[in-house]
Amino acid sequence: MLSLQTHTLIIGGGPAGSLCGISLQQHHSDCLLVDRARFPRLKLCAGVVTGKAREVLREVLGDDGLRSLLSETQVGHERHLRLWNRRHCFVDCDMQDRRVVPAQWRDEDWRFVLVDRPRFDAALIARYKALGGQLIEGNGERAIDFERHIATLTDGTTVEYRNLVAADGAGSHTERLLAKAAPDFQPKGENALAYEINVSRDDLDIDGVNLYFGYLPETYAWAFAKGDTICLGACRLKGVHVDGQQAMKRFLGDIGLRHPERYPLKGALIPFDNAMPHPLWRDHVYFVGDAAGLDEAVTGEGIYFALRSGADAASAIAKANPVGYIQRNSVIQQHLRRGAKYQRLLASRLPFAFFRTVATMSNPFVGYFYLTQIDHLSFASAPSIVAQYLRHRMG
């Protein structure tokens, strides 16, 4: 029976795990990445890579590395943001409008960057391997002895490690194993369920990034143009007792999808407003990305938080400074709490009606808000966002 040793065992090869591995390799820190799938593998995701996500990639890969990664994986470059109340569009914002883009960004070709997630994940894994990173595919963890620091894989291989990085998604097996083994560990709560299909443009002609309210309680459906395909999805939140598949069918009917029978629905867990209270256990088990519940409640964005937490965990491990990971995670948690607050306001009938009225009267403000508060990481309060926008328009 094979027995391995590594300084850091990373479980899961999505953006969080792979960027953690890349960063560790750059720090000349030994690591082994394990994933139960083989790459490229299916991954449900709308695939928006925001400006702040690109900054993390630039930080780790450099300018040339970021350009190369996007050239391999990008499938969409859209400029329109639209918000709908069922069939009624109340925001149609051109994200290259001068009323939207702050002066310091007007020289940029600002549009939504959308990637193909299977290719994106596989490309990051390829970069990890090119740096000398060890990878075991098609062989996940079966059991973990957290006290002795030994993981047993499905084929019986044992891996002795010093640090463990759990990057194995919203339904993290590592999290379940640790919850059974350690009474002092606090796992996440119940995850939300997302439904998604990718359809041909021959069956649906939509451009831009579109969010549709009114189909599922407290959240929205989406239609994102991605080259030759359109990504369609909806999210049923935890604790909401509604038939998500029927809601998705109503949505597909309203937007005019032709031949829906060609596209069977697929589902995936997402940690919507479900951040792990303490993503570091006993200074050697790090939870990152979806496994740590790092998903933004207003937009459902997860890629940035996966990349950021993966890079932060690598830095903490390489510097033997686990407290550093908690300090960086606190910044992420602050952003997630603010997003959850906005999401709860949009989920309430009267605040949403007020938002829709204001948004209808000022489409460019919605675009400005997205650019400054979501695409880039900002913690401005609502009054200061309005003041910033007014100064922007006057300037």
Q: Tens digit of pLDDT for each residue in 94-125?
A: 998 989 988 877 767 778 999 999 999 999 99
Supply the pLDDT for residue 345. 82
**150 Cβ neighbours under 8 A, 6+ residues apart:** 144, 158, 159, 160, 161
pLDDT, residue 378, reads 66
The Cα 25–Cα 132 span in angstroms is 7
- Could you report the per-residue pLDDT of 47-78, keeping only the tens digit for each? 999 999 999 999 999 999 999 999 999 998 99
> What would the two tokens of residue 179 be?
């919850």
Helix 51-73 to helix 117-130 angle, to the nearest 10 degrees? 90
pLDDT band at 283, cuts 50/70/90?
very high
- Contact residues for 327 (Cβ-Cβ < 8 A; gap 6+): none
Q: Given this model, what pLDDT does residue 242 score?
A: 85
Sorting pLDDT into bands at 50, 70 and 90, what band is 159? very high
d(C-alpha 187, C-alpha 184), whole Å: 10
**DSSP-derived 3-state class of residue 207:** coil
Which range among 1-10, 12-21, 45-54, 94-103 has the greatest average pLDDT? 12-21
* Amino acid type, 394: M
Scanning the chain, the segments in alpha helix (DSSP H) are 15-26, 51-73, 117-130, 173-181, 244-255, 303-318, 322-347, 349-361, 363-369, 382-394
pTM beyond 0.85: the answer is yes
Provide the token pair at 19.
């960027």
